[in-house]
Amino acid sequence: MREHGLAGRKSLLRKELLAARARLTEAERKSAGIALRTTLLDLPEIGMAGTVAAYVSVGTEPQTAGLVFALWKRGSYVLLPVLRDDYDLDWASYEGPESLASGPHGLLEPTEPRRGVAAIASADFVIVPALAVGKDGHRLGRGGGCYDRALARVGPMVPTVALVYDNELLDEVPAAPHDQPVRGVAQPARGITRLG
C-alpha cells in the first residue's frame, strides 16, 4: 500500500510540475537554457572533464542544445543517451547537430555507434534532466526509471547535476529506495546548488 501511495504522490507532483512548465513561454525556456549553459560552462569541474554525459532537451525542459554544442566545440567528448526498448539508456557520442536523429517519445538521439549502457561510467561529469529535485538530491523524473539505472553506474566521486527551473528545487520529492540521488542541481537564476 505504501508503494502505491508513493507512486500516487509522484504522479500528482509530476502533473503539477508539468502544468507549471506548460505555462512557460518559448522565450522563458530559451532564456533558462542560456543561463544554465553559462553556469555549467563556468564550472571548473566541467572545464576539467574529458567526457561529459548530457542530454538533448525535449518539450518544456530547459533548453540544452546550446550547452551540448558548446561542450563539444570546446573539446569535451560528449555522450548522449539512446533510449532502449527496455527503458535503459545506451550511450553514443555527439558529433555536432547533424549527428542527431529523431528517436522515440520525441527525443533527439545521436546516430553514432552505441557504446553500451555502461559507457556512462566513463563520464567525468554527468548532466541529467529532472522535473524537480529535493534538497537531499533525490530527483523526480518522468517515471520510466531510465536515469535511475544510468546514475547507479556512475562512480561516487563524479559530479551529477540535474537541470531544473528556479522553482523546482524542493524541500523534498517522493523517493523509493531504488531512486538515485544527484549531487547537485543547476537553476537559471540561482546557479549551482551542491546537494547531499
Kindly state the average pLDDT of the residues 45-68.
95
68-119 confidence digits (pLDDT tens) = 999 999 999 999 999 999 999 999 999 999 999 998 878 889 999 999 999 9
pLDDT per position as a tens digit, 55-65: 999 999 999 99
Distance CA 6, CA 159 (A): 27
CB 132 within 8 A of CB 140: yes
User: Under a CB-based contact definition with an 8 Å cutoff, are residues 97 and 70 in contact?
Assistant: no
What is the CATH classification number for the domain harbouring 184? 3.40.50.10420
**What is the per-residue pLDDT for 1?**
38
Q: Provide the total of helices (H) and of strands (E) in the chain, helices listed first.
A: 5, 12
Q: What is the mean pLDDT of residues 29-39?
A: 95
Domains contained in the chain, number: 1
d(CA 16, CA 19): 5
Q: Residue holding cell 566521486?
A: 157
Question: What is the DSSP pairing of strand 89-93 with strand 77-83?
Answer: antiparallel
Give pTM, 2 decimals.
0.94
Q: Which domain holds residue 173?
A: 2-194
Please state, in angstroms and rounded to a whole number, the distance separating the CA atoms of residues 90 and 123: 13
